[in-house]
A = this chain, B = another copy of it.
Amino acid sequence: MNKYKILIAGGDMRQIYCAERLSKEFEIRIIGFDRESIPDSIKLSFANISSTKKYDCIVLPVSPIDDNGNIYTPCSSENLHPKVLQGLLTEKPFIFTGQASEKLKVAFQNAKFRDYLQSEELNIKNAIPTAEGAIQLALEELPVTLNGLKVLVVGMGRIGSVLVKILQGFGADISTAIHSPRGSAKARLFGVKTVSTKHLGTNYDLVFNTVPKLIFDRNILERFNKHTLFIDLASKPGGIDFEAAHDFGLKIIWALSHPGKTAPVTSGEIIAETISSMLEERNDDIE
């Protein structure tokens, strides 16, 4: 089998680090970046639009198309239209992206789309930079140490588990709020106190929410101390009534997009590893 030729098209610095990691295994070209936006230590080649070389795969950013119908290229001063990419592809290419819109499917009719955000591998691995970014926020915002702090972690899924593990290293006083026998069993494993999401106490200094369900409604928020810091890591619409929180003067940070910003290298490498696993599984599909 031939080595894949892969084109990394647009996106932020994560895609650059993704490209660098993939270049250890595959033939990689990039497009949609200004040369100055790339650190000197990174050696990557730009795609030559006028060449006849064809690519087997394109890697697009999570949200690939901007409002004007161009590829999302925050690291480039020029626009990149999907049409430019069409001429660079083999007949049945793979397109890796976060979510393939109808527009995108029309633009690349022969392509097979792969959503790397759906990969379990990526989601487990991404829990780590997400949790670390949240811990960084807490350290920056709070005038006290995490050691000894009364912390509530809502949800014992991937992100919740990583948070608990990190907080135990700090020696925080951790409680977890769980809503299933499964979550309860996982909390038991970590040796932390559990409360039911239905009977939450309010005596915490710091709350991490990871559950995308309205748990912190006006009634509950009203009873919290004003010094409590809330960090919401749940996907939209999050788990906290922001308006009510605002009314009570509570501080809330919605931080799900944080990981890409605080650890772009790791985030980019995780995307690369996921794409690499996906291509490996699919070796049979391509002749």
User: Which residue numbers of A lie inside 8 Å of B, CB to CB?
Assistant: 41, 120-121, 124-125, 127-129, 132, 135-136, 139-140, 142-148, 161-162, 165-173, 181-182, 184-186, 188-192, 227, 262-266, 273-274, 277
Contact A263 B191 (CB under 8 A): no
Q: Report Cα–Cα, A167/B165, bound state, in Å.
A: 11
Q: Report Cα–Cα, A148/B128, bound state, in Å.
A: 10
A148 — which chain B residues lie within 8 A by C-beta?
Answer: 188, 191
Contact flag A185-B129 (CB < 8 Å), given A169-B165, A191-B170, A266-B144: no
Contact B142 A189 (CB under 8 A): no
Contact A182 B136 (CB under 8 A): no
| Interface of chain A: mostly helix, strand, loop or mixed | helix
- Chain A to chain B contacts (Cβ below 8 Å), 17 pairs: A41-B227, A121-B181, A121-B182, A124-B186, A125-B188, A127-B189, A128-B188, A132-B146, A135-B139, A136-B136, A140-B140, A140-B262, A144-B265, A144-B266, A165-B189, A171-B188, A171-B189
Q: Report Cα–Cα, A181/B277, bound state, in Å.
A: 8
A135 — which chain B residues lie within 8 A by C-beta?
Answer: 139
Contact B147 A139 (CB under 8 A): no
A142 — which chain B residues lie within 8 A by C-beta?
Answer: 263
Counting chain B CB atoms within 10 Å of each CB, the highest count among A135, A143, A166 belongs to: A143
- A150: shortest Cβ distance to chain B, in Å? 12
- A260: shortest Cβ distance to chain B, in Å? 11
With both beta carbons as reference points, the residue of chain B lying nearest to A147 in the complex is identified as B128
20 additional contacts, CB 8 Å, given A132-B145, A165-B190? A124-B186, A127-B189, A128-B145, A128-B188, A132-B147, A139-B139, A143-B266, A148-B188, A161-B189, A162-B189, A165-B189, A166-B169, A167-B169, A168-B168, A169-B170, A171-B189, A171-B190, A171-B191, A171-B192, A181-B277
